[in-house]
C-alpha cells in the first residue's frame, strides 16, 4: 500500500494539481453564458481529481493492484460525477437601488 513518504507525495502532488486546476479553470459558467460562481462541486471535483493524479504519479502502474484500485477508481468516478451532477445556478441578483 505504500509507505508514509509515498502518501505524503500523493498529498503534495495532488494538492498542487488541485490548486492549479482551481486557478486555471475559474468559476463555472451557465449555458446562457452567465457566471454562476464557485460551487461545492468545483472543490470536490478538483480534490478527487488531485487524489487521482497524485496516486497515478506516485504509484505509477502499482496503483492498478487490488488494494489501491479501490481508492484510485472511485476518486476518478467521484471527480467526474461531482463535476457533471452539480446544478448550475445563476448568481443572485442585487436589487438594491444603491450601487456598490
- 35 pairs with which residues across the strands? 29
State how far the Cα of 55 lies from the Cα of 68, in Å rounded to an integer: 9
With cell 513518504, the residue in question is 5
Mean pLDDT value across residues 48-75? 81
State how far the Cα of 56 lies from the Cα of 64, in Å rounded to an integer: 9
pTM (two decimals): 0.61
Residue 15 confidence (pLDDT) above 70: yes
- R_g over Cα of the chain: 18
- For residue 9, the model assigns a pLDDT of 92
- 28 pairs with which residues across the strands? 37
Q: Which residue has the higher pLDDT, 61 or 74?
A: 74
Domain boundaries, the chain: 4-26+38-85
| Angle formed at CA 47 by CA 37 and CA 55, multiple of 5 degrees | 155
Kindly state the cell numbers that stand for 45. Answer: 471535483
Q: What is the DSSP letter of 22?
A: H
Residue 92 confidence (pLDDT) above 70: no
- Mean of pLDDT over the chain: 78
Mean pLDDT value across residues 25-43? 70
Amino acid at each position: 500500500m505504500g509507505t508514509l513518504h509515498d502518501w505524503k507525495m500523493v498529498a503534495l502532488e495532488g494538492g498542487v494539481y488541485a490548486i492549479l486546476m482551481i486557478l486555471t479553470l475559474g468559476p463555472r459558467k451557465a449555458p446562457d453564458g452567465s457566471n454562476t460562481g464557485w460551487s461545492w462541486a468545483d472543490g470536490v471535483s478538483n480534490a478527487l481529481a488531485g487524489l487521482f493524479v497524485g496516486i497515478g504519479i506516485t504509484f505509477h502502474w502499482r496503483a492498478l493492484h487490488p488494494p489501491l484500485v479501490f481508492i484510485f477508481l472511485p476518486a476518478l468516478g467521484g471527480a467526474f460525477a461531482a463535476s457533471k451532477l452539480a446544478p448550475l445556478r445563476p448568481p443572485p441578483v442585487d436589487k438594491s437601488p444603491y450601487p456598490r
